[in-house]
Amino acid sequence: MAPKAAAAAAEEAPAPQTPRKRGRPRKVPVEQAPEEAAATAGQDATKRRRGRPRKTAASSDKLQGGNNNSPAAPPSHQQSVDAGEASPFSVLPREEKRVLLGHLNRFESSAGVQDRALELYVNSQLFQTAINEFRTWMLRALTDDLRAVLLELPSGSAAQELLFGYFAQFVLTKFKKEVRAYRDLVKTVDLRQPHLWYPIARSMKRRIIYHAGPTNSGKTYHALQAMTAAPSGVYCGPLRLLAMEIYDSCNANGTYCNLITGQERKEVEGASHTSCTIEMTSTQKRVDVAVIDEIQMIGDEQRGWAWTRALQGLAANEIHLCGDASALPLVRQMADAMGEELTVQSYDRFTPLAIEERYLRRGYASVQPGDCVVAFSRRDIFDIKQIIEQSTGYRVCVVYGALPPEMRRNQARLFNAPDNSYDVLVASDAIGMGLNLNIRRVIFHTLHKFEGNFKQPVSVSQIKQIAGRAGRRNSQYNKGVVTCLNKADMPRLREALDTPLEDLSTPAAGLFPEFEHLEMFAGQLPEESFARLLTRFGEEARLDGTYFFCKQDSVIHLAKLLSRVPSLTLEERYHLCNAPCNTRDPRSASAFLHFASQYALGVPVTLDIAEPKKAPASPEELRHMEAVHQIVSLYIWLSFRFKRDMYPGQQSAMRLSERIINLMAEGLHNIGAPGSLVFEQGKRAVAVANVRHNRILTSANEVSSDYWERYWTDGRGRRKSYALDRQSTQSGMQLAA
């Protein structure tokens, strides 16, 4: 049993069973303290063997009283360990010693013993100490009767059961204080009934409606219809972008709606509705109808907790969930636990989605208007953009996660508009949610992506979600097509699209402690740093199979950074650590530390960032500007969390953010345009550009050494160029294609 699972089962601390068939294993009642339970354990086992009446917990003290004449009762710990008597073991015949030590060796090395000890609130650290001392104690405790029983037993589980009873008695007597302390600690991290954290929601009679279906099937449309028809409502979405879309469309259609995200608070006078990112949703404010979008994200390893919280905590009479059917069994289980009614409405896709069996044979030279190329790294996205723009003449929009939502929206609008030359989109998986796009064909650049340091296959549900963007209702195309750049990826694409959504499952819902939980936990461990508290909370959390503890790497990273900042309360640390700081970027991390330090000193927090003057001219410059924008965005986020007078620069930060976004948009427009320079990092050629004659070539056969020149930036950012010979030009074209 895994330690957490064992801890979860700890309320039923088992007493040892009889070594032979007699009687069923005894379970200690939930209320019974484990030390009481175990105090009876060893004796109980041997007594039952002998047909004596079962001993009760109440009588255990008496039996423990060290009556060595009572053959099955070992001497108490005090008696056996402290009295300093010679061990009865030392005078035994060699063969008996061998058998008895064999039992003890097997017991000590058995994997199950430590897990069972956890059920008695013996943690792993204490277990090591206890198991080391147990052997000495046991050999001293060896009565004639116990010895006879052990010698009689084969070397299997019956002997282990018997020894475990004695181990329990030993550890719970000798380490009483430690066991109690651990039990109290574990009780503060009992997360098995998180729905009870929300008293308002539990006092209501809520109805849950699950809109289940594939992409582009009208799930969100129907849920939003219910929300806007109600006197009051809230939309909870996974992205700022989606929250902004719903805010705009509600207000445009006459439903007054506020916007609340980490970085925005837009209040509309007389608004009855709110559109927010799911982390920002209130569990206090009553509304008639709530919509939770992309409910399958309840299983997301980092953000799943926000969906669990919304589903269990929203104070809404009616809750509409939109998503694929993969989370349905889990939601059903959670609804049952809350005693709430669940109705399911199923949907089919509006338009057909077909696989184009001819993968992109001529590479990106053969893209067409309405194509969306999906790649999973920023570098690939810009390489592909440049290759397409320079080999086809189409203008390319890009969408990826690090672009601010305003820019993603802006790029989507450019791509959707019929009257411009932006006909092709190159995007990351960020297009999987939230954008209505005029896509005819999705082309997967690859079906692998880096997760941390490892290349992993893209998941089936992600392939489905992204592919489903093609041929969307209300777009120009009444059917969607999907294919891959490489032939080798085609079988996986087919397999993913053929997998029914019902076969995918979201096994468990994410959880993350509310501040109150951490506060209680901190009360048990007053000496621990905040980062250690978070780690230990995750380690000790008691969960059943319905929930898992969300990954908290970034939170712990920030908590460690904050350990250098004194004078912050636990609550301040908790909120600071949940800030959207890009911990992989040292500039963001150092800005975070600067903001937190100023705040801790009680001086107004300043945003010392100079306004950029010109648009980025290369992907590298754009990346730099994205990082600057993330810092500005972090400042704005903090300014909404903490007292406004501590962040006096909120308004100027918002203006700066807007200015940076405009420059980035301008930069995106220029980067990779025909005739512009082609940049290369390191040594690999990514494309060749016909800059001298501005002639657009579509196949390697047309290449002639007269026409081509190659540009790149060297390691120090200097631009260099040289004319390509025919062979290099052709290999450049092959790379480009």
Using CB under 6 A as the criterion, which residues of the chain lie in contact with ligand ATP when the complex forms? 213, 215-221, 322, 436, 468, 472-474
User: Least distance (Å) from ligand ATP to the CB of residue 218?
Assistant: 4
* CA gap 188, 583 in Å, rounded: 30
User: Least distance (Å) from ligand ATP to the CB of residue 460?
Assistant: 16
User: Least distance (Å) from ligand ATP to the CB of residue 353?
Assistant: 11
Residue among 7 and 322 whose Cβ is closer to ligand ATP: 322
Residue among 466 and 636 whose Cβ is closer to ligand ATP: 466
Residue 222 backbone dihedrals phi, psi, to 5 degrees: -70, -40
Residue among 467 and 541 whose Cβ is closer to ligand ATP: 467
User: Least distance (Å) from ligand ATP to the CB of residue 215?
Assistant: 3
Residue among 163 and 353 whose Cβ is closer to ligand ATP: 353
Residue among 310 and 501 whose Cβ is closer to ligand ATP: 501
String of DSSP letters for 331-365 = HHHHHHHHT-EEEEEE---SS-EEE-SS--TTGGG
Amino acid at 574: Y
Could you tell me what percentage of the chain is helix, strand and coil, using 3-state DSSP and rounding each to the nearest 5? 50, 15, 35
* CA gap 497, 468 in Å, rounded: 10
R_g over Cα of the chain: 33
State the burial class of residue 190 (Cβ atoms within 10 Å of its Cβ: 0-12, 13-18, 19+). Answer: middle
* CA gap 198, 206 in Å, rounded: 13
3-class SS of residue 23 = coil
Residue among 219 and 309 whose Cβ is closer to ligand ATP: 219
* CA gap 588, 578 in Å, rounded: 14
User: Least distance (Å) from ligand ATP to the CB of residue 380?
Assistant: 24
- Angle at CA of residue 313, ends 461 and 324, nearest 5°: 20
User: Least distance (Å) from ligand ATP to the CB of residue 481?
Assistant: 16
* CA gap 396, 382 in Å, rounded: 10
Residue among 436 and 505 whose Cβ is closer to ligand ATP: 436
User: Least distance (Å) from ligand ATP to the CB of residue 233?
Assistant: 16
CB 593 within 8 A of CB 561: yes
User: Least distance (Å) from ligand ATP to the CB of residue 354?
Assistant: 17
**Distance set, CA 456 to CA 298, 450, 504, 566 (Å):** 22, 6, 18, 41
**Distance set, CA 160 to CA 120, 184, 307 (Å):** 16, 28, 44
For residue 99, the 8-state DSSP code is: H
The residues, ordered by sequence, that sit 6+ positions from 616 with a Cβ below 8 Å of its Cβ are 622, 624, 625, 663, 664, 667, 671
Residue among 321 and 577 whose Cβ is closer to ligand ATP: 321
User: Least distance (Å) from ligand ATP to the CB of residue 219?
Assistant: 4
The tokens of 132 are what?
A: 């080391």
* CA gap 523, 188 in Å, rounded: 10
User: Least distance (Å) from ligand ATP to the CB of residue 405?
Assistant: 16
Residue among 504 and 627 whose Cβ is closer to ligand ATP: 504
User: Least distance (Å) from ligand ATP to the CB of residue 316?
Assistant: 19
DSSP H or E stretch at residue 177: helix 176-188
* CA gap 82, 140 in Å, rounded: 10
Best CA proximity match to 517, nearest among 193, 192, 197 = 197
For residue 442, the 8-state DSSP code is: E
User: Least distance (Å) from ligand ATP to the CB of residue 338?
Assistant: 25
- E-strand ranges in 141-222 read 207-212
Residue among 48 and 472 whose Cβ is closer to ligand ATP: 472
- E-strand ranges in 356-421 read 371-374, 395-399
Amino acid at 267: E
User: Least distance (Å) from ligand ATP to the CB of residue 350?
Assistant: 6
State the burial class of residue 468 (Cβ atoms within 10 Å of its Cβ: 0-12, 13-18, 19+). Answer: buried
Residue among 304 and 468 whose Cβ is closer to ligand ATP: 468
Residue among 245 and 340 whose Cβ is closer to ligand ATP: 245
The tokens of 383 are what?
A: 């390489």
User: Least distance (Å) from ligand ATP to the CB of residue 394?
Assistant: 25
Locate all alpha helices (DSSP H) within 602-716, ordered by sequence.
Answer: 619-641, 650-670
Residue among 426 and 435 whose Cβ is closer to ligand ATP: 435
User: Least distance (Å) from ligand ATP to the CB of residue 496?
Assistant: 16
* CA gap 328, 309 in Å, rounded: 17
The tokens of 332 are what?
A: 């059903």
Best CA proximity match to 691, nearest among 409, 340, 389, 280 = 389
Residue among 470 and 661 whose Cβ is closer to ligand ATP: 470
How many residues are listed for the chain in this entry? 737
User: Least distance (Å) from ligand ATP to the CB of residue 412?
Assistant: 13
Residue among 468 and 667 whose Cβ is closer to ligand ATP: 468
For residue 79, the 8-state DSSP code is: I
CB 220 within 8 A of CB 322: yes
